[in-house]
Amino acid sequence: MVVRGRRAALRALFTFSVVAFTGGALARIAATTPTRRTDAPGRTGDTFAEMYRGRRIEVGRAAVAYGAQGTDGGGPEARVDGRRLPVMRCADGGYLTPVDHYASYSTPLEAVRAAVDELGSAQLADTDGGAHGVHA
C-alpha cells in the first residue's frame, strides 16, 4: 500500500508541476504586448521605403489589382525603382521573389534586397501584369 500511495503522490506532483509551468508560460505570453519596429528607415505605417545599393525599394502591404483576376488579398507588394516586383509567401513562412526564387527570406524586405543583389545593374521589366522578366 505504501508503494501505491508514493506512486500516486509522485504522479500528482509531476502533473501539478507540468500544469503550473505551462500555465505560467502561457500567462506570460498572453501578457506580452506585440511590439512594432519604428526605427526602420523610411517607415510609414506598414510600408518600408529605403535606398539600397543605389535602388529605391518600397515594400508594403497593399491590395494590388491584377486586371480581371481581382486582387491578391492584401499580400506584400514591392517596388524597385518604381517597378513592381512580386513577393510571395512560402510554405515555411518566409518570402521569395521570382528573381531569387531558390531561397526563402524571413521578411519581404530581405527578399527584395536579395533580388536587388541578384539584379545587379539590370532593370525589372516594366509590366504590372506579370513582371517576371528582367532586362539587362
DSSP string of 15-53, one letter each residue: HHHHHHHHHHHHHHHHHPPPP----STT-BTTEEEEEET
9 contacts: CB under 8 Å, gap ≥ 6: none
Q: Output the tens digit of pLDDT for each of the chain's 136 residues.
A: 555 788 889 999 999 998 888 888 888 777 766 554 444 444 445 677 888 888 899 888 654 444 434 444 456 888 888 888 888 888 888 888 888 878 888 888 899 999 999 988 888 887 655 444 554 4
Dihedrals φ, ψ of 22, to 5°? -65, -45
119 three-class SS:
helix
Look up residue 54 and give its DSSP letter: T
* Alpha carbons 57 and 76: distance in angstroms, whole number: 13
What are the CA-CA distances from residue 123 to residues 29, 87, 132 (Å)? 45, 16, 11
C-alpha cell at 66: 491584377
Helix residue ranges, H only, 34-134: 108-119
**95 CA to centre of own chain:** 6
Query: 116, 52 in Cβ contact below 8 A?
Result: yes
pTM: 0.54
